Chain A
Amino acid sequence: MRTMLKIENLTATVGEDDDAKTIINGLTLDVPKGEVHAIMGPNGAGKSTLSYVLTGRDGYEVTGGSATLNGEDILDMDPEERAAKGLFLSFQYPVEIPGVPVMTFVRAAMNSQRKARGEDEISAPDFIKQSREIGKALKLDAEMLKRSLNVGFSGGEKKRLEIYQMMMLEPNFLILDETDSGLDIDALKTVADGVNAMRSPDRGMLVITHYQRLLDHIQPDKVHVLSKGRIVATGGPELAHRLEKEGYEGILGEVA
Chain B
Amino acid sequence: MTTALRDMIANPTTAELDLVARYGMQPADSRRERLFEAFSRTGLPHRRLEAWKWTDFKVALQGLDRPSTPPAQDPIPHAGALVFRFSSNGYFPPDHIPDGLNVFEKDEAQALGAAEDVPLGALAASLSGGKARPATLLLEVTSKELPRLHFQFSGEGEANFARVVVVVRSDMALTVSESHLGGAGLTSSVIEFGLQKGSTVNRAVYQRGTSEETIASTALVHLDADSHYTQTSLAFGAKVARLETRVTHQEPSAKATLNAAYLVGKDLHADFTTHVRHGANSCVTRQLTKGAVLNGGTGVFQGKFFVPRTAGQYTDADMQHKALLLEDGAVVFAKPELEIYADDVECAHGNTSGALDDDQLFYMRQRGLPEKTARALLTQAFVAEAFAEAGALEEVLRAEAEAWLAAV
Contacts and interface: CB of A to CB of B under 8 A. Distances in A.
Interface of A: 55-59, 78-80, 82-84, 88-89, 91, 94-100, 105-106, 108-110, 112-113, 116, 148, 165, 169
B144 to A, nearest CB: 32
B340 to A, nearest CB: 30
Given A58-B358, A97-B363, A97-B364, A112 B369 contact: yes
A95 B363 contact: yes
Contact of B366 (A55, A96, A110, A116): A55
30 contacts: A57-B362, A58-B362, A78-B365, A80-B366, A80-B368, A82-B366, A83-B368, A88-B367, A91-B363, A95-B359, A95-B360, A95-B363, A97-B378, A97-B381, A98-B381, A99-B380, A99-B381, A99-B382, A99-B385, A100-B377, A100-B378, A100-B381, A105-B367, A105-B377, A106-B367, A108-B369, A109-B369, A113-B368, A148-B381, A165-B367
A97 to B, nearest CB: 6
Nearest to A59: B358
Contacts of B142: none
B360 A97 contact: yes
Given A57-B362, A95-B359, A169 B381 contact: no
Nearest to B377: A100
Contacts of A83: 365-368
A80 B371 contact: yes
B176 interface: no
A104 to B, nearest CB: 8
B264 interface: no
B368 A84 contact: yes
By Cβ-Cβ distance, the 7 closest A-B pairs, closest first, are A99-B381, A83-B368, A113-B368, A109-B367, A79-B365, A95-B363, A109-B368
Nearest to B365: A79
Contact of A89 (B359, B366, B371): B366
B384 interface: yes
Contact of A110 (B365, B368, B384): B368
A99 B365 CA distance: 17
Interface string B349-367: 0000000011110111111
B147 interface: no
A80 to B, nearest CB: 5
A228 B3 CA distance: 85
A58 B368 CA distance: 15
A108 B377 contact: yes
Interface residue SS majority, chain B: helix
A112 B376 CA distance: 14
Contacts of A56: 365-366
A96 to B, nearest CB: 8
B366 A112 contact: no
Contacts of B384: 99
Contacts of A55: 366
B202 interface: no
A57 B364 CA distance: 11
B373 interface: yes
A94 B381 contact: no
Contacts of A106: 367
A213 to B, nearest CB: 26
A205 B368 CA distance: 18
A169 B363 contact: no
B98 interface: no
Nearest to B362: A57
A69 B384 CA distance: 39
Contacts of B378: 97, 100
Of A94, A100, A110, A169, the most chain B CB neighbours within 10 A belong to A100
Nearest to A57: B362
A89 B380 CA distance: 25
A89 B368 CA distance: 11
Contacts of A88: 366-367
Contact of B368 (A94, A97, A112): A112
B370 interface: yes
B197 to A, nearest CB: 36
A199 to B, nearest CB: 21
A81 B221 CA distance: 53
Contacts of B368: 80, 83-84, 109-110, 112-113, 116, 169
Contact of B363 (A94, A99, A108, A112): A94
Nearest to A93: B359
Contacts of A80: 365-366, 368-371
Nearest to A51: B366
Contacts of B381: 97-100, 148
Contacts of A97: 360, 363-364, 378, 381
A51 B358 CA distance: 17
Contacts of A59: 358
Interface in B10-55: none
